[in-house]
A and B are shown apart, each in its own frame.
Chain A
Amino acid sequence: MTEQVVDRAVFENLKAMMGEDFIGELIDVYFEDTPLLIAEMRKALSIQDTEVFRRAAHSVKSNSANFGAMQLSMLARELEMMGKDGKIEAAVPKLERLEVEFQKVQLVLKDLENGH
């Protein structure tokens, strides 16, 4: 299960690049930033601002891919595409799936950070 949520190879790459000490700090920023981006997407959805929606989804996609959270990144990408096409009316269920996926990613990353 863990393998599906976060791709270990990508995560290890990231760790090698950032250094052992710094990876925790980066994960913290990611954990702080993502809920803000999700909130932004929700707000954009309520006022039908496709551009803000697209941009926030783009950031979630990019950030998640850095950590190897590929499922999450894919979901964000699909939402980004909806924003790009200007059709975000039907985005709510997907956004909810993204939130659930983010919670899973958080658990796995915390585990990995602690060296499990």
Chain B
Amino acid sequence: MGTRRLANEAGRILVVDDNKVNRLLLARGLEQQGHSVSIAENGRRAMEVLQAGNFDLILLDLQMPEMDGYQVLEQLTKDLELRNIPVIITSAVEELDEVARCIEMGAEDYLTKPLNPILLKARIGSSLEKKRLRDQQRELIRKFATSEVADELLEKGFTLGGQFVDASAMFSDIRSFTTIAESQSPADTIELLNTYYTLMFEAIGNHRGIVNQMVGDGLMAIFGAPLPQEDHCKQAVLAALEMIELIDLFNCDQAAQGKAQIRIGIGIASGQMIAGYTGTLSRATYTCVGDTVNLAARLETHTKIVGEPILIDETTQVHLNRSIQTIEHEPVQLKGKTQVVKIFSVPTGQEVSI
């Protein structure tokens, strides 16, 4: 089943070869298999074609005038967009040493000339499939991270598979949102939510966090995963302070227009959690689960009782190393916890040295 689908997947392929016979042969062979093919006669030309078009795969010859295969590979690795395109090296059998070097440089696979049609089909199919998965992953990252964080993730590489991470989880939502929604028009409510999310994304992204869930008026953010971050506790709290600050500014604006003002509550907890890519193939998200995450959610709910906008757990507080002022509150018995937990609020509007 899988193999059949692979073989049927058509792609946009760039064939780079200085040799006319090879170019024709590859182009025709690939077209026979249902792909659409562009050709370039040397590396320099290939880079031009790549910048102008959208490709799923590159078949690259090594020895070419003007700009050879190695130089193309080098350029591709430096380009954030282009390096996502898999490269298959086409080489003579006696060049296998050089092929090994290319694979170290980031090439996906190789084919020896003269080409074997069955191998050609199989390798192209598998490379196109990898490209498809990578595109899907990139698409996903673009959705949950701000563009700066997304770029950094793509540049440094990351794992989406399940693993333990040391991170901070944050939950935030709007207080009495239902009441607000009932008091104004649906259009105003949606506009309000969109502004709210834009501001929150901004504050969270500024501190290298990622927003991985948005439900109604609430959101969940992670600091320290998938990109490791040494001071994720501090960054999460700084983001929370910035969120409150932005909401205050937003409220001034709303008040001036005679529109509804909002208040938010934020809960942060830090420690080990399980992070990974969950869902189905067509719909998935990067998320964190575990006790720490649950604790952050409970703390967020608890802000209503304490009457403070930001509550953090003990681990987060300890890791702040007094760089940010906190106030300890009466330990509480939270839902799902057998022991009482220490809780701390973070006074808003404080000056923090970074």
Q: How far is the CB of B15 from chain A (nearest CB, A)?
A: 14
Residues of A within 8 A of B92 (CB): 61-62, 65
B20 at the interface (CB under 8 A from A): yes
Decide yes or no: A30 and B117 within 8 Å by CB, A17-B32, A19-B28, A19-B32 being known contacts: no
Residues of A within 8 A of B29 (CB): 17-18
Q: How far is the CB of B79 from chain A (nearest CB, A)?
A: 27
Which of A14, A18, A67 has its CB near the most chain B CB atoms (within 10 A)?
A: A18
A62 touches B113 (CB 8 A): yes
In this complex, how many residues of chain A approach chain B with their Cβ under 8 Å: the count is 24
A18 touches B28 (CB 8 A): yes
Decide yes or no: A66 and B117 within 8 Å by CB, A18-B32, A29-B20 being known contacts: no
Decide yes or no: A33 and B20 within 8 Å by CB, A13-B114, A18-B29, A18-B32 being known contacts: yes
State the main secondary structure of chain B at its contact with A. helix
In this complex, how many residues of chain B approach chain A with their Cβ under 8 Å: the count is 20
CA–CA, A25 and B25, complex, Å: 10
Residue in chain B with minimal CB distance to A22: B28
A33 touches B21 (CB 8 A): yes
B25 touches A66 (CB 8 A): yes
A63 touches B19 (CB 8 A): yes
Residues of B within 8 A of A47 (CB): none
A55 at the interface (CB under 8 A from B): yes
Residues of A within 8 A of B117 (CB): 13, 16-17
The residues in A between 61 and 113 inclusive whose CB is less than 8 angstroms from any CB of B are 61-63, 65-68, 77
State the main secondary structure of chain A at its contact with B. helix
Q: How far is the CB of A44 from chain B (nearest CB, A)?
A: 13
CA–CA, A30 and B116, complex, Å: 19
A29 touches B65 (CB 8 A): no
The residues in B between 33 and 78 inclusive whose CB is less than 8 angstroms from any CB of A are 63, 65
Residue in chain A with minimal CB distance to B113: A62
Q: How far is the CB of A105 from chain B (nearest CB, A)?
A: 13
CA–CA, A18 and B33, complex, Å: 10
- 21 interchain pairs, CB-CB under 8 A: A13-B117, A16-B117, A17-B120, A18-B25, A19-B28, A19-B32, A25-B24, A26-B24, A29-B24, A33-B20, A33-B21, A55-B63, A61-B92, A62-B22, A62-B92, A63-B19, A63-B21, A65-B92, A65-B114, A66-B25, A77-B94
Given contacts A26-B25, A66-B21, A66-B115, 15 further A-B contacts (CB under 8 A): A16-B117, A17-B115, A18-B28, A18-B29, A18-B32, A19-B32, A26-B24, A29-B24, A33-B20, A59-B18, A61-B92, A62-B113, A63-B19, A66-B113, A77-B94
